[in-house]
Each structure stands twice: as C-alpha cells, then as structure tokens.
Amino acid sequence: MPNPQLEAEVKRRRTFAIISHPDAGKTTLTEKLLLYGGAIHLAGTVKARKAARHATSDWMEIEKQRGISVTSSVLQFDYAGCRVNILDTPGHQDFSEDTYRTLLAADSAVMLIDAAKGVEEQTKKLFWVCRQRRIPVFTFVNKLDRHGRSPFDLMDEIEKLLGIRSYPINWPVGMDGDYYGVYNRESEQVELFDTLGDHGQKKAGSRIFSLDDPALKAEIGVACYENLLHDIELLDLAGDSFDMQRIAAGELTPMYFGSAMTNFGVRPFLESFLALAPAPSYRLAGEELIDPLCDSFSAFVFKIQANMNPAHRDRIAFLRICSGMFEKGMSVVHRTSGKTIRLSQPQQFLAQDRVIVEEAYPGDIIGVFDPGIFGIGDTLSSPDFPVTFSDFPVFPPELFARVQPKDSMKRKQFVKGMEQLAQEGTVQIFSQPDTGMESYVAGAIGQLQFEVLEHRLRFEYNAEILMHSLPYTAIRWLVGKKEDLARLKHLENALYVHDRYDRPVLLVANEWALNWLVDRNPDVQFLTAPPNGTIVK
C-alpha cells in the first residue's frame, strides 16, 4: 500500500535542469522563473551577482563565486501546487562534466535556444546526454524581443541537428523579429505582453484575446493577423500532433517562444511546462527499477562541493532523493564503504538562502555534510534497502598531466587535496603502481580543469604543484590475467597506471598505437569505460 503523503509529494515534484550554450539566457530565465514563482520579488539580484563574478574572472577566483554557484545549483519554489526544483548548471564551455552529472539528477530538461543563433555546440552535447537518459526535453526559444530566425527555421534546425521533432505549444505573434505575444494552440487564445522597458524586473502585464476577437486584429494589424492564421494552419496541417508518450520518451519536444529579458512568454511557459513535465519516476539500480513511492529511502550523490566555507573546510555532498521520505537525523548506509551515517544537518536551497531541511521527498535535492568518504555517484540508502544506482556515466579523459608537489615538505596537503578534488570530480586521478613515484597523473576533458586543480590546490590546500602535460590522448581500462597485463607495463607509447579504485588502466598516445596494442594482446580486454561504467562521449 503506497503511503498517501509520499505519493502526493512525489506527484507534485518537478525537478529539471536548464541546458543551453553560454549566453543563451539561462541565468536570466532562471531568475525570471524565480520571479514568477514568488521566490524573489525583483529580478536583477542573481544576475548582478553573476556580473560581479565575471568581473573577478570566471573560474580562477573560485572561492569568490562559491556563493552563487552553490546557491544557484539548486533552487526550489512552489508554483501552481507544484514543488519546483531547478538544477542550474555551470555553462562554461570547457568545464561541463559538472553539467552532465547534474543532468543525472533531473527528471526533465529545458533546452534554451537563442532565437538568433539556433542550436549551438554546447546545447548539442547536453541534448545528447538527455537523449541517452531518455528524459523529456522542453524547448524555450529565447530573445524573441529582438530580431531572430524564423520559428519554422528553428524547428527545422532542431530536427536536422538533434534528430527530434518539435511541437510548438505556443507560437509567436508578430513578424520579422517584432513580436508582441504568443498564441496558445490549445486554448486558441493570444496573449499580448506589455513591455515595461525595465528589463523585466517585475512580472509583465498582459491581455488575452480569443483568436476570432476583432479587437485582436485591430491591435496587431491585418498583416500580422493574417500571418498568424497562415502559420497556425501550416502547423496544424504539416506539423506533428501532440503526443504525450513521444514527449515522455524524449522523441518530441514541446516548444515555447518568449523573452526571458522582457518576461514575455515566461509565465505561459512555466505553467504549461509544469503541467506536462514528469514527476520523479522509477530509477535503475543494477537490474532493479526503484519505485519513488517505495517506503525505503534511497539517494545518490551527484555533486560534491568542498570548502564552501573556507573557515570550516566543510564539504557538502548534494543528494538527489530517489525513493522514500527523508527525515532530518535519519541514518543511512553509504553503499560504497558500507558505513552507516547519520544525516544530521541536511540543507536545502531556497532561492538564495540555505535552510535546514526537516523532511524531503523523491525529486528533492539536499546538501549534507560529507564526512570525507563520499564520491560522485555513490548511493545512500536505508539500512534495510541495499541498492546501488548504477547508470552513472564515466567521462573518459582526453588530456593528461603529471602532477607533483613543488615542495616535498607539503606532500601531505598535496595528497589530501588531490584525493579530495578527485572525489569531487575536478579531475580524474591515476597513480603509477610499483614505481614509488611521488606524483599523480591527472586526467581531464578540458584544459580548464587543470587550471582549476592548480588554483584550488594552492588556495584551499596550500599546496603548490608542478604540472607537465603528457602525450597521451586515449584511455582504456584493462581486464586480463596478471601475466598478460604485466606485458603492458613498460611500453614506449603508453603508460600503465591505476585509477582511484585500483583498476589497471592504459593511457595511450594515439589510435594507431592503441590498435597495435589491441592486436598484439588478444587475451586482454581494452575497455573504453571502467567495468560497470556508462560512457559518455
């Protein structure tokens, strides 16, 4: 018998992430959703803090941006009976592992597209992660207040580049980049928005007309009206029909138009999105599907943020709750180590403030103090519920560098920093067994990760490092007998290392060298992801 309170709470949760290319307007839209959700009363504060952060350089002054990057990681508010959890994602092009991981905690995604630029590089990559996870993607075409591409053009591009058809829920009213409102295809009404010229600090006023109201024609002009009728007809005739199943399977994207800056289209988007977006559902743990309504608690760590408060050197692990009810002070088992942990000071993030949470439900994100044993992807669950969430992706690094402490007296801080930052996922680390070398090999996807590593080791762990890049570009996890693996230990074009879990790994200079090794070692498996890992390209 499902617990009725749990059922009601799960049903009203909407946990989603906004995915976009930098500058498409994610910060602005997030802030406007908070404005409409009543979590803030005047837009401009989040944005202002972001601007201040930019002034101090994006990633290098990391401790300075902690405030915003943490509080904006998870934002919660209530709207129309729903409990909304927005997972904001760092938008930097070169450092997107964090973003990918955040998507694992989301039940749906909002793909934000700049109307003038269309589908951009970063959006494509993030979209593929959503597709792989089969989560529904909703599209918001932004910046309609200025000249952009034709909506039909954008629909075509989405299909061509992302392989997904779109279903416009609403349609912009106006012509050639001069838009005044949106037409809702379901209610057959047009909503015209007032432009206040204050960059949308306050909610936009609007007036609603039915499509056949002569006042509408008078308001927007005959040409614009005719154009709208023509577009609607074309959509109805040639477009896809609304199909909730295809949306849920990530095969059709509901599409909205608006301007996060002037607030036009924001409220209609929010309302429709909350009505259509899925509540938390089943999650795969090994072979088993975990029902969110199951009485036992389970959650996984999708993000770890260390040293949020430099005075306390604390580490916060962000958990996505997957099943059961969470209560403050409850004891859970950390499945990787088998240790029982009491979650005594869980925190939640309400707009820009942190609050202690008394209870939370599937779909919610809570931050808990990490006693130093949590890793990304780890499962925490009730003692009588031994599950392990397994579909956590592994990102094969493409850049490698040898890292060692500048001052060998600081070795202790260095090791602690490397281990902790690797747990957080700043870089991946590897060690060279049997060589006794006082160094690690760090692996990254983008160069910026190395810069972040260096900076954080210096400022948070007081350990300066020497870093030399290594000429390897590919990584393979090895499975084979000891004597077969031993042959791979001292090669010229490859480096034999162990990953953090002591699994043997080979770093290889190039494809050619790799193929050569694969051919000559038929008894060894060369895996692109660690055994049990899901690879993300």
Least distance to ligand G4P, CB of residue 54, Å: 9
Select 65 or 259, whichever has its Cβ closest to ligand G4P.
259
Is residue 28 close enough to count as binding ligand G4P by CB under 6 A? Answer: yes
What character string, x for contact with ligand G4P (CB under 6 A) and - otherwise, covers 240-279?
-------------------xxx------------------
Stretch that binds ligand G4P, among 2-10, 23-31, 102-110, 494-502 (CB under 6 A): 23-31
How many chain residues touch ligand G4P (CB under 6 A)? 17
Q: Write the DSSP string, 124-185.
A: HHHHHHHHHHT--EEEEEE-TTS----HHHHHHHHHHHH--EEEESEEEEEETTEEEEEEET
Query: What's the CA gap between 60 and 74, in Å, rounded?
Result: 22
Binding to ligand G4P (CB under 6 A) within 504-523 occurs at none
Nearest to 296 by CA among 370, 205, 384: 384
Residue number with CB closer to ligand G4P (259 or 382): 259
Cβ atoms of 57 and 225 within 8 Å: the answer is no
Tell whether residue 23 is a contact of ligand G4P (CB under 6 A).
yes
If one asks whether residue 417 binds ligand G4P (CB under 6 A), the answer comes out as no
Report in angstroms the alpha-carbon separations of 56 from 47, 306, 446: 15, 20, 21
C-alpha closest to that of 400 among 504, 479, 506, 501:
506
CA distance 427 to 97: 10
Q: Say whether residue 102 binds ligand G4P (CB under 6 A).
A: no
In terms of DSSP bridges, do strands 399-405 and 379-381 run parallel, antiparallel, or are they unpaired?
A: unpaired
Minimum separation from the CB atom of position 85 to ligand G4P (A)? 18
For the record, the structure tokens of 128 come out as 């593929």
Kindly identify the residues of this chain, within the stretch 34-53, that bind ligand G4P according to CB under 6 A.
47
Q: Of 134, 146, 147, 230, which one interacts with ligand G4P (CB under 6 A)?
A: 146
Write down the least CB distance from residue 486 to ligand G4P, Å: 50
Piece of 124-132, 139-147, 357-365, 391-399 that binds ligand G4P (CB under 6 A): 139-147
Q: Candidates 138-146, 169-177, 221-229, 391-399: pick the segment binding ligand G4P (CB under 6 A).
A: 138-146
CA pair distance 444, 431, nearest whole angstrom: 15
CB 168 within 8 A of CB 137: no
Whole-number minimum distance, CB 51 to ligand G4P, in Å? 6
Query: In 10 A of CB 453, how many CB atoms?
Result: 23
Which residues within the stretch 75-94 sit at the binding site for ligand G4P (CB under 6 A)? 91
Residues lying near ligand G4P in the complex (CB under 6 A):
20, 22-28, 47, 91, 142-143, 145-146, 259-261
